[in-house]
């Protein structure tokens, strides 16, 4: 804590001194916790545009410069040199693992990949065409019923075990959700495979014949998972923290995170981008859709464009855009939607509306084209995002318990309803 203060004076002339809190990098904050006590005022910030809700040492973003770092490591370096399990270790533990630490962490995750057999009966209750995100949310939430008794959120060992279970079981559930969706038998995890290979095997393998994992697909998924692993205090992570602040069961917290991720303004954008590209259909229609996106009377937005924090190219989009070309080339796929997406980007980036508002492609703009190339239906895209983001969610949830300043999250409001009035009996209304 620095010894600087910000002075605030209300229209009534009441002055408050609010301590300035500075992080190691990034803009400073001033701590408004005592504002109400000192002045009788609350702050109002409906979309949390200028509000820091916690201290965190996990992920750093500089939105103006287009910088993203996990525990200080630039995302570009991690994407180039690391792998998802190593990144998971880094996010959870704060440091990159040495060889022995990596091996034991990987083995630990691998040992927890199976899910309780009763989960299968639970899944059979869903309609075959239930949205995969709806199934994910419910199944992960239902884990709270399997892991509640004997699990204490106040015990660091129990918390860590819950985090490991979540990272390990998400792909198994995701694959089961996919199998339910397409009506094939569920596959058990194969522990001789690595994290993304195992997922591909559970999704695309069938009991009737051997399945050979395509290394290009496994590597592409690994890259996407690294890029989606954490992103500071976004909507779903803040949801996990808010639910977590009440002391709730960790599986319930992550289920809430999945619910938040599903929305098209957040992780659901990857599915929405492909639907949008399908609707645009052809390069000749781009101008019409760009005009729709600019029209304030039209709810249409360019999905995969814009970001609350990035006022520059999303660094993850730069990496995914390049990977898109490589993966499609390696798989021998010629997808006209990639050309359409690139043309759309080119036109939008030259348009005064997008330039003025600093709207650039975000992480979701190109990721769907890769998922599609790997044979996934659009409804599964956000499920893939959820597998990766689970690492961020559990890391932030663990950190929350280790931060002294953690209290129950309880925002206030600006009341706009009726003032006090007397009850009128129903026959007199
Ligand atoms: N298309 C057209 N106009 C847009 C778009 C867009 N995609 N995004 C923002 N704008 C306009 C918006 O209408 C507003 O204009 P004006 O100042 O004239 O009112 C201005 O840009 C600022 O937008 P905002 O809605 O106030 O910005 P926000 O920070 O509240 O919203 C966002 C950020 C990501 C929700 C929004 O840009 C959006 O809806 N984008 C499309 C959905 C999307 O791609 N989401 C994925 C985000 S990244 C991955 C993730 O979070 O999981």
Kindly state if the Cβ of 306 falls inside 6 Å of ligand 1: yes
Which three-class secondary structure state does DSSP give residue 95? coil
Known catalytic membership, residue 307: yes
Name the CA dihedral angle for 299, 302, 304, 307, rounded to a multiple of 10 degrees: -70
Determine the distance separating the centroid of ligand 1 and the alpha carbon of 303, expressed in angstroms: 8
Is the minimum distance from the CB of 311 to ligand 1 under 6 angstroms?
no
- Higher per-residue pLDDT: 286 or 121: 286
**Tokens at 194, concatenated:** 């690595």
Q: What residue's CA is closest to ligand 1, atom 24?
A: 308
Inform me whether the pLDDT recorded for 56 exceeds 80: yes
Q: Is the CB of 357 under 6 A from ligand 1?
A: yes
- What sign does the dihedral 412-418-420-423 (CA atoms) show? negative
CB 399 within 8 A of CB 57: yes
pLDDT at position 121? 86
**Ligand 1, closest atom to CA 268?**
52
What's the average model confidence in pLDDT over 9-18? 97
**Within 10 A of 288 (CB to CB), how many other CB atoms are there?**
9
- What's the token pair of residue 171? 């792909």
For residue 312, pLDDT over 80 is answered with: yes
Q: Which of 217, 199, 213, 178 is nearest to 380 (CA)?
A: 178
- Over residues 110-166, the pLDDT tens digits come to 999 999 999 888 988 998 889 999 999 999 999 999 888 888 999 999 999 999 999
Q: Which residue, judged by its Cα, is nearest atom 47 of ligand 1?
A: 266
265 lines ligand 1 (CB under 6 A): yes
The per-residue pLDDT for 405 is 83
Q: What angle do CA 384, 387, 392 make, to 5 degrees?
A: 125
What pLDDT, on a 0 to 100 scale, did the predictor assign at position 150? 81
Ligand 1 neighbour 358 (Cβ under 6 A): no
Does the active-site annotation cover 364?
Answer: yes
Per-residue pLDDT, 2: 67
Supply the pLDDT for residue 147.
Answer: 86
pLDDT in tens, 195-240: 999 999 999 999 999 999 999 999 999 999 999 999 999 999 999 9
Taking the CA atoms of residue 255, residue 261, residue 263 and residue 265 in that order, the dihedral angle to the nearest 10 degrees is 160
Nearest ligand 1 atom, CA 309: 29
66 Cβ closer than 6 Å to some ligand 1 atom: no
**328 within 8 A of 220, measured Cβ to Cβ:** no
Average pLDDT, whole number, for the chain? 95
Does the beta carbon of 112 lie inside 6 Å of ligand 1? no
Tell which one of 306, 345, 349, 359 to mutate to probe ligand 1, the residue whose CB is within 8 A of the most ligand atoms. Answer: 306
pLDDT for 66-112, tens place per residue? Answer: 999 999 999 999 999 999 999 999 999 999 999 999 999 999 999 99
For residues 172-179, give the mean pLDDT: 96
Percentage of the chain modeled with pLDDT above 90: 93
pTM of the model: 0.96
**Ligand 1 centroid, distance to 306 Cα (angstroms):** 5
Percent of the chain residues past pLDDT 70, beyond the cut: 100
- pLDDT higher at 120 or 301: 301
What distance in Å separates the CA atoms of residue 211 and residue 310, rounded to the nearest whole number?
Answer: 41
With a 6 Å cutoff on the Cβ, whether 373 touches ligand 1 is: no
pLDDT surpassing 90 at residue 171: yes
Position 406 scores a pLDDT of 83
Task: Read off the pLDDT band of 421 (50, 70, 90).
Answer: very high
Angle of the 336-350 helix axis to the 315-331 helix axis, nearest 10: 150
351-361 pLDDT tens trace? 999 999 999 99
In the predicted structure, residue 1 carries a pLDDT above the cut 70: no
CA contacts within 13 A on the Cβ side of 196: 21
Catalytically annotated residue among 230, 307, 314, 351:
307
């Amino acid at each position: 804590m620095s010894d600087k203060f910000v002075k605030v004076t209300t229209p009534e002339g009441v002055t408050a001194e609010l301590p300035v809190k500075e992080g190691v990098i990034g803009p400073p904050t001033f701590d408004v916790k005592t504002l109400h006590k000192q002045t009788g005022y609350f702050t109002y910030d409906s979309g949390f545009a200028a509000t820091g809700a916690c201290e965190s040492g996990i992920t750093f973003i500089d939105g103006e410069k287009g910088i993203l770092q996990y525990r200080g490591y630039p995302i570009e370096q991690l994407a180039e040199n690391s792998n998802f399990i190593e990144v998971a270790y880094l996010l959870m533990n704060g440091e990159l693992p040495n060889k022995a630490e990596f091996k034991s962490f990987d083995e630990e995750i691998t040992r927890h990949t199976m899910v309780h057999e009763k989960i299968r009966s639970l899944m059979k209750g869903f309609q075959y065409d239930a949205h995969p995100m709806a199934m994910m949310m419910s199944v992960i939430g239902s884990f709270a019923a399997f892991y509640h008794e004997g699990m204490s959120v106040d015990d660091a060992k129990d918390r860590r075990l819950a985090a490991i279970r979540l990272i390990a079981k998400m792909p198994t559930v995701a694959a089961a959700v996919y199998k339910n969706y397409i009506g094939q038998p569920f596959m058990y995890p194969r522990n001789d495979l690595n994290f993304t290979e195992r997922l591909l095997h559970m999704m695309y393998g069938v009991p009737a014949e051997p399945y050979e994992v395509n290394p290009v697909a496994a590597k592409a998924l690994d890259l996407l998972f690294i890029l989606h692993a954490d992103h500071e205090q976004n909507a779903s992570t803040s949801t996990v923290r808010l639910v977590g602040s009440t002391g709730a069961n960790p599986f319930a917290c992550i289920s809430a995170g999945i619910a938040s991720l599903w929305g098209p303004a957040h992780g659901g954008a990857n599915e929405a981008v492909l639907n949008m590209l399908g609707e645009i259909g052809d390069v000749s229609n781009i101008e019409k859709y760009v005009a729709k996106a600019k029209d304030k009377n039209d709810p249409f937005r360019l999905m995969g464009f814009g970001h609350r924090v990035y006022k520059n190219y999303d660094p993850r989009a730069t990496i995914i855009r390049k990977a898109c070309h490589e993966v499609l080339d390696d798989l021998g796929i010629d997808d006209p939607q990639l050309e359409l997406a690139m043309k759309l980007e080119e036109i939008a980036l030259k348009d005064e509306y997008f330039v003025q508002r600093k709207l650039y492609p975000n992480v979701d703009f190109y990721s769907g084209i890769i998922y599609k190339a790997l044979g996934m239906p659009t409804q599964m895209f956000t499920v893939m995002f959820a597998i990766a983001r689970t690492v961020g969610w559990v890391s932030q949830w663990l950190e929350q318990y280790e931060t002294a300043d953690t209290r129950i999250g309880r925002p206030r409001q600006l009341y706009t309803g009726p003032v006090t009035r007397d009850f009128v009996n129903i026959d007199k209304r």
